[in-house]
Structure 1
Amino acid sequence: MNPRILALIAAFTASFIYGINHTIAKGLMPTVIEPFGFILLRVFGAAVVFWILSIFYKREKIEKKDWWRIIASAFFGMVLNMTMFFKGLSLSTPINSSVVITIAPVLLLILSALFLKERITWRKGAGIGLGLIGALVLILFGIKTQQNAPNIPLGNMLFLVNAASYSVYLIIVKPLVSKYNSITLMKFLFLFAFLINLPIGFQEFTQVDWTGLSFDSIWKLSFVVLGTTVLTYLFNIYALKQLSPAVIGVFMYLQPLIAVLFAIATGADQLTTLRVIAASLIFLGVYLATRKRKKKNLTVS
């Protein structure tokens, strides 16, 4: 099969896993495991997998000056990011989480302007405004509670922090990606993430009745650890060999569609007019903020 086709399939599969993860992870909290304990399980499992995989790769030495960046990347990408997402998911709904996190590209644009001095045009500024309005609509007006969603506005606010944290992570980790092997980088990121998350999630982790888990709970926990944490990363790495980051980024916008369809199909959530309006504002904002301006063709007469 054409390598590009395989790369597209890999990118789609990663987005599909992320999309259904919103509902699967939500179904485990808080009856099976609390959010902080869930994060500890996730980073520990990923750390073990990536350290095992590193055995088959050439050992790399990390430069002393890069350790602080690795620790910061672990904190924003695998501690604060995951903490806000899982805690928010325990308070809100799968559809809300899938919609709000699509504002990450807009937040990344703002941070890039602040730290990387990238220019923001009026079109991008309008996109940023629409995206933030859409997120605020969900946060401020999504006040109706429902079963297994005790505080939707607070949960939606945590999703916003989650998206901002992930955007910071992308900026911090960028210089490391081209410098070190992906497996080397991931094994240290998840190691530090595990050490930082250990005091945060240890109590909730030990409260889980591990010996009494049902098969349904076991496969869902395994899916989040191996599928959402490990496989999605490996699929995206494979896709990057054939596709540009911009092309892979487009697949991120499939997540809300997949999450909505899966959540409704399983009866875990429902679509409302407010969510459609908020999602439309966010998607339009992201489109305006991230769309590249077409270059005019110059002709010589």
Structure 2
Amino acid sequence: MNKQWQVHGALFLVALIYGSNYSIAKEVMPAYMGPFGLIVIRVVSAAIFFGFFSRLVTREKIVGWNDNLRAILCGVTGVAINQLCFFAGLNLTAPINAALLMVIVPVVVLVFSAILLRERISKRKVGGIALAFTGAFLLIYTSGSEHTTGNLWGDLLIILNATSFGLYLVLVKPLMQKYNAFTVVSRIFTVGAVIVVPFGWQQVLETDYSTYPAAVWWAIVFMVLAVTIIAYLFNTWALRYANPSLVGAYIYLQPVLAILIAVIAGKDVFTLQKGLFAMLIFAGVYLVSRTRQAVTEG
């Protein structure tokens, strides 16, 4: 198998893992464990894994006050706020709503790049931002109806999660250019673990694990090993060889897979209304990202 097919295989697997996570996480929440308990298990496990990996393989340290402060901010935005809002939002809203709203991340990245990195925003990109915002607003607004499968507060938390993660992608860029990726990820997961433990440790301790069926245990293993560790490793490897536009194409595949999996698994229903709002979001993101290097969740 040549390198091109290997890269495609790795990126498709990452998209499939992230797309599956929306429905698989709903197997555990809230019937068996609260969202913050799941976050503690996921983030602490990742911090331990990447910590050992970083020390054994890279043996590199982040030095200097500015870089260490930036790494802390990345841990707050990219792990703590990002994960707390995502799982809390997913616990409330429908998997399809969460998947569709997450594709606004490239738009958020563009906005923060303009604010923090002084990058110029063209009229075309402004139009894209307006389209994506309109689609997201309509999806959130209609979630307040009792006839929909979404949830207003859940959708707002997913938006906050996407905003936090978009800010993280802008903040982490200088660190990724200066240090090994595993050095940076090890530090931000360590910072994130310190923050999320107080939120979810009680849920971890109070859970009656003896009542868990095998499907729930497998769901937790999937979220720790696949979503947190394997997806990041495959994504990191693929980014060494993939064209940025190719990586961007696979970002937009994630919500498509999430919708298919949610519908097949019976976790949600796809309506014509959601399809129309999704078209607005995708059209806006396309306009924003067409000439810009795409980014993916680590």
TM range (shorter): over 0.9
Does 2:238 match 1:239? yes
1:145-294 equivalences under 5 Å are 145=146, 152-292=151-291
Q: Within 5 Å, give how 1:12-23 maps onto structure 2.
A: 12-23=12-23
Q: Does structure 2 conserve the Cα–Cα contact (< 8 Å) formed by 1:131 and 1:283?
A: yes
- Partner SS, residue 269 of structure 1: coil
* C-alpha deviation, 1:175, in angstroms: 0.8
Offset, 1:250: 1.9
The answer to whether the Cα contact below 8 Å between 1:102 and 1:282 also exists between their aligned partners in 2 is yes
State the SS of the aligned residue for 1:30. Answer: coil
| Offset of residue 123 of structure 1 | 0.8
Question: Conserved in 2, the CA contact under 8 Å of 1:78 and 1:190?
Answer: yes
**TM-score, with structure 1 as normaliser:** 0.93
Question: Radius of gyration: which is bigger?
Answer: 1
Cα separation, 2, equivalents of 1:106 and 1:184: 27
Measured after TM superposition, the shift of residue 205 of structure 1 is 1.7
**2:207 is aligned with what amino acid?**
V
Q: Does the 8 A contact of 2:75 with 2:189 survive in 1?
A: yes
CA contact (8 A) 1:89 1:97 kept: yes
Q: Which residue does the alignment assign to 1:67? A: 68
Listed as ranges, the gaps of 5+ residues in structure 2 are 293-298
Aligned-partner Cα distance in 1 for 2:146–2:35: 19
Deviations 1:83-139 (A, max 9, x none): 111011011000000000001111111111111111111111110000000000011
Match of 2:137 in 1: 136
| Cα deviation code 1:124-167 (max 9, x no counterpart) | 111000000000001111223479x6x70111111111111000
Equivalent in the alignment of 2:115: 114
Matched-pair contact (CA < 8 Å) for 2:94–2:151: yes
Identity of aligned residues (%): 39
The offset of 1:246, in angstroms, is: 3.6
Paired with 1:104 and 1:218, the residues of 2 have a C-alpha distance of 30
Partner of 2:105: 104
Letter in 1 for 2:105: A
Q: Secondary structure at the match of 2:32?
A: coil
Cα offset for 1:247?
2.2
Confirm or deny: 8 A CA contact 2:62 2:183 kept in the other structure.
no
The more displaced of 159-168 and 59-68 is 59-68
Alignment RMSD? 1.6
- Shift of residue 290, structure 1, vs aligned partner: 1.4
The equivalent residue for 1:46 is: 46
Equivalent residue, structure 2, for 1:297: none
- Contact persistence 1:88–1:156 (CA under 8 A): yes
For the Cα contact (< 8 Å) 2:89–2:155, is it kept in 1?
A: yes
By how many angstroms is 1:188 displaced?
1.6
Q: Which is further off, 208-217 or 64-73? A: 208-217
Q: CA shift at 1:63, angstroms?
A: 0.5
CA distance in 1, matches of 2:225, 2:284: 33
Structure 2 partner of 1:79: 80
CA displacement 1:182-202 (0-9 Å, x = unmatched): 222222211111111111111
CA distance in 2, matches of 1:237, 1:280: 29
Note the C-alpha offset of 1:23: 0.4
Most deviating of 36-45 and 138-147:
138-147
Deviations 1:35-80 (A, max 9, x none): 1111111101111221232343131122032111111101100010
How many Å separate the matches in 2 of 1:135 and 1:189?
A: 29
Residues 138 and 153 of structure 1 are in contact (CA less than 8 Å); yes or no, is this contact kept in structure 2? no
